[in-house]
């Protein structure tokens, strides 16, 4: 899987992305509850797309959201909706190559994990962007089976397939204390707290 192919795919689908989204508000609320997203936090939204989660973060009173996506067209559309908000910073780039001046309280990868070729490397990279005691969440608003069936279609060349929560938990374990591992008919999620040195 080449990153340039991921960029091209999501640039192409960006204009219709928002119209393709089902209302998953109830599931997103559960995901963010489990993630511990709360007032005053600095949140890193990884592979943020058009900013689907941004209003949910703001409803919870976070102090800042840094939304990063590798697709310029996705970031452009997020900017049209949220670019003027002082709490929101939008960045176009490869999260695995980026550096930030301050650590985050929480990082969320929503509906995007299969589009990273090396999931273990991504988890390690994000751990380095969190403060000790910070929270990492990888989640999908649908079942693992639904996601994998969907990615066998047009997105098959830009998806690695969604691993089981047991495999993902093993990716987390060296760096995070995992407290949530859910894989059911409505959602998929693993959350952990960064271990203190």
CATH number, domain of 37, equals 3.40.50.150
Q: For residue 18, what pLDDT is reported?
A: 73
Quote the DSSP letter at residue 107: E
In the block, tokens 């910073």 appear at: 89
Q: For residue 153, what pLDDT is reported?
A: 59
Weakest-pLDDT range from 3-12, 22-31, 90-99: 3-12
Give the pLDDT mean for 177-188: 96
**Closest residue by Cα to residue 192 from 113, 128, 139, 135:** 135
Domain that holds residue 49: 3-194
Question: In Å, how far from its chain's centre is CA 66?
Answer: 11
CA-to-CA distance for 184 and 186, rounded, in angstroms? 6
CA-to-CA distance for 33 and 115, rounded, in angstroms? 24
Looking at per-residue confidence, does 75 or 14 come out higher?
75
Domain count, the chain: 1
Tokens of 72: 């310029």
| pTM for this entry | 0.92
Name the E strands within 39-173: 42-46, 64-69, 88-92, 104-110, 130-140
* Cβ-Cβ contacts under 8 Å for 35 (sequence gap 6 or more): 106, 108, 135, 137, 139, 191
In the block, tokens 């989660």 appear at: 53
φ, ψ at 137 (rounded to 5°): -130, 130
Give the pLDDT mean for 80-92: 96
Weakest-pLDDT range from 4-8, 96-100, 176-180: 4-8
């Amino acid at each position: 899987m080449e990153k340039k192919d991921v960029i091209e795919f999501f640039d192409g689908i960006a204009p219709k992305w928002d119209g393709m989204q089902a209302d998953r508000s109830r599931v997103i609320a559960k995901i963010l509850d489990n993630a511990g997203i709360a007032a005053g936090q600095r949140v890193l939204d990884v592979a943020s797309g058009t900013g689907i989660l941004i209003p949910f973060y703001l409803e919870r009173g976070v102090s800042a959201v840094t939304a990063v996506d590798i697709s310029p067209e996705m970031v452009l559309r997020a900017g049209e909706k949220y670019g003027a908000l002082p709490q929101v910073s939008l960045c176009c780039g490869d999260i695995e190559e980026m550096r930030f001046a301050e650590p985050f309280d929480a990082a969320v990868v929503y509906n995007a994990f299969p589009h990273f070729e090396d999931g273990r490397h991504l988890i390690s990279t994000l751990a380095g962007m969190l403060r000790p005691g910070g929270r990492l969440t990888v989640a999908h608003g649908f079942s693992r089976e639904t996601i994998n069936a969907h990615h066998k279609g047009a997105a098959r060349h830009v998806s690695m397939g969604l691993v089981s929560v047991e495999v993902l938990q093993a990716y987390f374990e060296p760096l995070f204390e995992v407290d949530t591992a859910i894989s059911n008919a409505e959602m998929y999620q693993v959350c952990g707290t960064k271990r203190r040195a």
